[in-house]
Structures are given as structure tokens and as C-alpha cells.
Amino acid sequence: MNELKQKIDQLKELLQSIQEGLQPYLDEQKRTEKHSQLKSVERSIIELQKLNTPVPDELRELKFKLVHEFDLFKEYRAIQRELSNLLDPFVVKTTRMTTPKIVNKPTESKAAESKAAEAKPTERQRESKKSYRVKLADLLKSGLILPGTEIQSKYNNRWYKAVIQADGTILVNLNGKPEVFNSPSGAAVATSGKSQDGWEWWSLTSENQTRTLDYYRKIYIDHEAQGRG
């Protein structure tokens, strides 16, 4: 029993440490402030683009920094949910007796509505279809990725590198010869010699973190949806 209590005390200390680490990213006010700052920077970039004025690199980098920080709020909330699910089996739950509800059989019209709802694509399906319409040029225009960014992939124990150009194309050196591709998948297939999802195949390193191109594509889709919402 003493050994179990000792482990519980250790767990308390660990949970307290985790909670302290999570706390800054569970502050809804800070999250709202970051989102407001991001929207302000995005508006500034859009206004400059309307005036055909080059967007300063500092402004693009600030947008990327804010997008990254805003995304951390989502990641830490996901960690909080995961932690809650892990602790859920140890939480004693009380149950209340409730009067059973009488469920009426759906009428023909309601049944038809239900079938129509099932026929509609899910949010994930809509996002998946939408993701294939995103191009590297969109990420460059939004400032998520800067022209000249180097991307890489390790395949069959060998590293391959390429460069994203200002027009959204990808420059790859194949057998000593520069080749230009219009999409990440095209560049990945030509480099590896096999069918590849280029958005998952290529990655880039920023702020000491390596993430796939698909990670930035999802951020773009997410913020585009928020801008329309």
C-alpha cells in the first residue's frame, strides 16, 4: 500500500508539472489575442497585394510565427484531451436513474431527411477534397512558406533536396541536371521513381521543427475556412 501511495504522489507531481506546461496554451484570452493579431497581419498583407506592393519578408515571417503559435493552442488542447482520456478510467462516475424516453418511429419525411443527411459528405471528406485544390503558390501567397525554401525527403536511406521557387514550382537537381516541377507529387515521383504523395513526401525545417508540406497545407485550409466563417 505504501508503494502505491508513493507512486500516486509521484503522479501528482508529474500531473502538476504537465498542467503548468499546458496552462499558457489553455488561456482562451491569449488564444483570442493571437488570432486577432494574425488576422490584422493577414489584412495588411492583403492590402499590400491589392496595391501590387511587395510584402516585406518581416511581415511574412511575423505571419508564419503567429500561425505557428496559434497552432500550438490546438496541439496543447489535443494533449489535454488525451490526458483526460487516460485519466478517465480512474474517475469515479455517479449515475442517475432517468425515465426512459419514448422514441417515436421517424415519419417518411424525417426518414428522407436522415438519408439526405447521410448522403452529404462529411467535414473530413470536404476538407480532403479541398486539400487537393491547394497549390504551393497559395502557401507562398499567404506567407506560410517563403520563396527559396529548401525541402527534403529521406528515401531508401538517401536524402533528396529541392527548392520551392517564387512561382510555386519546385526545382530539383536530378542526375546533375536541374528539373522544374509544377507540384510536390510530380517532383517526388521523378526523384524517387515511384508513385508518391508529394505533400507527405517532402518536408521542411523551420524553427528547429521538421514538418511535411501537408502540415502547412492543412494550416492554410484551416485559416482560409476561419476567414470565410
Question: What pLDDT is recorded for position 137?
Answer: 92
Q: What is the largest CA-CA distance in the chain?
A: 76
pLDDT at 101 over 80: no
Region of 154 (left: φ > 0; alpha: ψ -120 to 50; beta: rest) is: beta
Contacts of 34 by beta carbon, 8 Å cutoff, 6+ apart: 66, 69, 70, 73
When mean pLDDT is compared over 1-5, 18-22, 143-147, 149-153, the highest value belongs to: 149-153
Q: Check: CB of residue 196 under 8 Å from CB of residue 205.
A: no
Question: What pLDDT is recorded for position 126?
Answer: 52
Torsion (CA) 203, 200, 83, 12 in degrees, nearest 10: -30
Per-residue b or e along 28-47, where b marks 16 or more CB atoms closer than 10 Å to that residue's CB: eeebeebeebbeebbeebee
pLDDT at 128 over 50: no
Grid cell for residue 178: 536541374
75 vs 50: CA distance, rounded Å: 34
Name the pTM for this structure. Answer: 0.50
Place of cell 511535411: 212
Place of cell 515511384: 194
54 versus 95: which is more confidently predicted?
Answer: 54
Confidence grade of residue 37 (pLDDT, cut at 50, 70, 90)? confident
Instruction: Convert the pLDDT of each residue in 147-175 to its tens digit.
Output: 999 999 999 889 999 999 999 999 999 88
108 vs 197: CA distance, rounded Å: 44
**Mean pLDDT, rounded, for 193-209:** 89
Confidence grade of residue 20 (pLDDT, cut at 50, 70, 90)? confident
Q: Check: CB of residue 151 under 8 Å from CB of residue 163.
A: yes
Q: Across the chain, what does the average pLDDT equal?
A: 79
Q: What is the DSSP letter of 56?
A: P
Tell me which of 4-18, 102-116, 135-149, 200-214 is least confident: 102-116
